[in-house]
Structure 1
Amino acid sequence: MKFIFMMVFMIPLCFGVNYWMIQIMFFMLMMMFMLSFSFNYLFLNISYFLGCDLLSFSLILLSIWICSLMILASESLYKNNNYYNLFCLVMIILLLTLFITFSSMNLFIFYLFFEISLIPVLILIIGWGYQPERIEAGIYLLFYTLLVSLPMMISIFNYYISFYSLEFYFMNENINNIFMYLCMNFVFFIKLPMFFVHLWLPKAHVEAPVSGSMILAGIMLKLGGYGLMRLMVLFLELNMKINIIFIMISLVGGVYVSLICIRQSDMKSLIAYSSVAHMGLVMGGIMTMSIWGMCGSLIMMLAHGLCSSGLFCLANMSYERTQSRSLYLNKGLINNLPNLTFWWFLFSCCNMAAPPSLNLLGEIMLINSLISYSWLSMILLSMMSFLSAVYSLFLYSYTQHGMIYSGGYSFYSGLGREYLLLFLHLFPLNILILKMEYFSMWI
């Protein structure tokens, strides 16, 4: 509870505190949280309705880290006096809702803050987005999720009437009702996003500011994976019968979306579609209901949150210099920004799961779980792995090499703040693989 009180007390400080002060407060909050819990599969620091296990702890830590980096990435708002105090207020409210969502031990409280977390993201997209289409993107984001949130709420009430408890700790019933399964989980399929219900994601990413893209890729997609991992235990018998359908959708959709990535002309759109492909792999791993799948999904969610957020930061740095996200206009950047080319290379390697990134560990565990589920999935998994390398190399080579765009007028080199921002994405992404035993506590 003390972290919630600290975040509430940070709200008045948004007004009248300078840019670096807010940044330091977020990092201090993150360090205090990291030292307050341990990596364990048991619920720790339990209050009346809040507690953390390994899954919650990892995702809350990622939330605080990404939110602090969002403030670091949004210095242009501060310089242009573009309602920066309001932006920081929205950030703190967003972090507060995410903290309660991930640490809640009650299903209804989780559902409530799961839906509330949409509102700050909607404000970010509509308030600080780039094009007039941002309103349409915000409506896509809102209504895709709200469409299936009412059936989930009704199924939660039905569950309470049947079993008299909504605490995650006591959820050991076996529900054999397919309508309950779909109502309870479809909101997570959309949030993840599953292929067929993924169209809101590229739209929202393209129209969002850099901070909006970072929080969408880094945290909001992970809400879907977190919800599935929490609630799959209720449908153990049903999972054995129908999970194969969703595994096939996620794998075939992952291959199809990887092919769509290769023909994108917008950098942010390409990175957004690659997120759909990676989260399809995560969904397949969760649906196998194996230890390998669960641990691999957690690792992949953390790795994707850091890697995809870093790629969106790089795309924004190119946009700030060329005023375009088009691959055709952002060519030959190695001639103007050789230092940033190095960072493009590192993040592209992480995106294709090259060692020593955390993505590699996650993919190995997910591929293991899916092949042990069905050896036929090898065909689709090999295509996904190959195509992830293809679109990552395509993004890197197309932006960094080739002829310089002749219409460009002037460039400024990378700033110290930008290098710090990229380092703080890349360092945990490549160093966490050294402590992979922390993620095997469930075994």
Structure 2
Amino acid sequence: MLSFLCFLLFLIPLCVSCSWWLVCSLLFLVSFLYLFSFPYFFCWGSLGYLFGCDVISYGLVLLSLWICVLMVLASESVLRSNYFPGFFLFVVVFLVVMLYCTFSSVGLLSFYIFFESSLIPTLFLILGWGYQPERVQAGVYLLFYTLLASLPLLVGILYIYSSLGSLCLFLLRGGVVGGLFYVCMVLAFLVSMPMFLVHLWLPSAHVEAPVSGSMILAGVLLKLGGYGLLRVFPILSKFGFGFGIVWVVLGLVGGLLVSLFCMRQTDLKSLIAYSSVAHMGMVIGGIMTMGYWGVCSSFALMVAHGLCSSGLFCLSNISYERFGSRSLLVNSGLMNLMPSMTMWWFLLSACNMAAPPSLNLLGEIGLLSSLVSWSWYLMLVLIFLSFFSAAYTLYMYSYSQHGSVFSGLYSCSLGYVREFLLLFLHWFPLNLVILKVDFAIFWV
């Protein structure tokens, strides 16, 4: 694990010299090298004093590396406009290092430190390369929501150390219970996922962030919450069964309400951001059932959502770079203006609706079966949630691609090879993983 970390740290001098495509190529290289270090024994491997890797860590570290490469590929406008490209590369590489350390930490305290540190480069991305002046307010929202919810988690971690004498993730088992302690440990992760009622920081952060900020927020930072829940549940298992129903109902009903919000959004980025909240509601429900199917399928849906949502943000940014607006009123009839992009809109919208053969389908089918087997009453909510998630995706696709073109736009615009490569590298792994389902889902 340390060898990959050193590889990433030694990229920092290249960032200072602003070797844009060299850094991008080396990040691709480290992603492919990491791909071949799969932990085949489904337990902790590559262990050191600070870092280790099991299947959950492996999947999310690989997702982080992949999304960060695609961030550099998507943000070529930063290089083209010469808007501090060296500092931008430094922020991205620093973010990769923080995420790598977060997902591969074997101690709860080091996990907490890196978990909080990953917010700093994200904040820099929003404040430095965001679009509107409101990005300052969005950054403050992001920071304060997540930091305030995380302070009780730090107290809970110190309490665990005083009670059990260890913070190693693979040595933590039940024995520490209590209602207040349970809420302290869970709340920070629910806010960062985010759960309905504490989700308001997400749409504002997405709308104000540049494409790289949106990609990393949707692709990886929302997964930090799910990863944290999976890690702390061995301690909370005795107490978690009683409280699980609160989070399951809140996640699913909130997901349903947010799906209705999506139906009346006019901003493309805002629509995709709210759809992330709806998907994460299902993930929260699956994890809180604390069953085998729920946990495995939640992991699969987290990885699938990371790729799919990031790809949709790239598409909305491609339209924004051409037309200078993300409004659906302006971005209508794109089939006439950008016919080459319509196929990618269709493919990624289909994945967002959990159409086969995407990994989203695998995750959603597993979550549906786990939630319905947990309680039959949830079936009614799940029916509407699935229906409306398809409805708002179709609304987004049909409204943006069909209809009359905005009168101010006349030219036919094709995509660059870089953009096609970027979208292909989102879509291809999303539909390729289905061929090796056992690595994606049957690992507990």
- For 1:244 and 1:36, the matched residues in 2 are separated by 38
Which residues in structure 2 correspond to 1:23-422 (within 5 Å)? Answer: 23-408=24-409, 410-422=411-423
Contact 2:163 2:176 in 1 (8 A): no
Q: CA deviation at 1:4?
A: 1.1
Q: Under a length normalisation based on structure 2, what TM-score does the superposition of the two structures give? A: 0.98
Q: CA deviation at 1:339?
A: 1.0
- For 2:408 and 2:441, the matched residues in 1 are separated by 52
Which residues in structure 2 correspond to 1:3-22 (within 5 Å)? Answer: 3-22=4-23
Amino acid at match of 2:249: M
Which one is further off, 107-116 or 30-39? Answer: 30-39
- For 1:198 and 1:40, the matched residues in 2 are separated by 37
Q: CA deviation at 1:150?
A: 1.5
- For 1:234 and 1:331, the matched residues in 2 are separated by 51
Q: Which string of whole-angstrom CA distances, capped at 9 and with x for unpartnered residues, describes residues 67-114 of structure 1? A: 000000000100110101000000010000000000000000000000
- For 1:126 and 1:184, the matched residues in 2 are separated by 30
- For 1:439 and 1:60, the matched residues in 2 are separated by 14
Contact 1:291 1:442 in 2 (8 A): no
Contact 2:247 2:285 in 1 (8 A): yes
- For 1:126 and 1:15, the matched residues in 2 are separated by 20
- For 2:120 and 2:17, the matched residues in 1 are separated by 24
- For 2:80 and 2:410, the matched residues in 1 are separated by 22
Which one is further off, 1-10 or 278-287? Answer: 1-10
Relative distance call for 1:411 and 1:440 in structure 2 (3 A) is: closer
Q: CA deviation at 1:258?
A: 0.2
Percentage of pairs with the same residue: 54
Gap regions ≥5 residues in structure 1: none
Q: CA deviation at 1:411?
A: 4.9
Contact 2:18 2:85 in 1 (8 A): no
Contact 1:41 1:441 in 2 (8 A): no
Q: CA deviation at 1:185?
A: 1.1
- For 1:178 and 1:208, the matched residues in 2 are separated by 37
Contact 1:190 1:224 in 2 (8 A): yes
Which residues in structure 2 correspond to 1:427-438 (within 5 Å)? Answer: 427-438=428-439
Which one is further off, 410-419 or 275-284? Answer: 410-419
- For 2:115 and 2:40, the matched residues in 1 are separated by 24
Q: Which string of whole-angstrom CA distances, capped at 9 and with x for unpartnered residues, describes residues 245-280 of structure 1? A: 110000000000000000000000000000000000
- For 1:198 and 1:186, the matched residues in 2 are separated by 12
Q: Under a length normalisation based on structure 1, what TM-score does the superposition of the two structures give? A: 0.99
Relative distance call for 1:44 and 1:441 in structure 2 (3 A) is: farther
Contact 1:39 1:57 in 2 (8 A): no
Which one is further off, 29-38 or 72-81? Answer: 29-38
Which one is further off, 176-185 or 302-311? Answer: 176-185
Contact 2:95 2:118 in 1 (8 A): yes
- For 1:337 and 1:117, the matched residues in 2 are separated by 36
Q: CA deviation at 1:15?
A: 2.5
Q: Which string of whole-angstrom CA distances, capped at 9 and with x for unpartnered residues, describes residues 317-356 of structure 1? A: 0001110000001010000111101100111110010111
Amino acid at match of 2:422: L
Aligned-partner SS, 2:10: helix
Q: CA deviation at 1:158?
A: 1.1
Contact 1:266 1:327 in 2 (8 A): yes
Q: CA deviation at 1:18?
A: 3.2
- For 1:403 and 1:278, the matched residues in 2 are separated by 31
Aligned-partner SS, 1:123: helix
Aligned-partner SS, 1:435: helix
- For 1:10 and 1:245, the matched residues in 2 are separated by 45
Q: CA deviation at 1:440?
A: 3.8
Q: CA deviation at 1:41?
A: 2.3
Contact 2:309 2:352 in 1 (8 A): yes
Q: CA deviation at 1:216?
A: 0.1
Aligned-partner SS, 1:36: coil
Aligned-partner SS, 2:305: helix
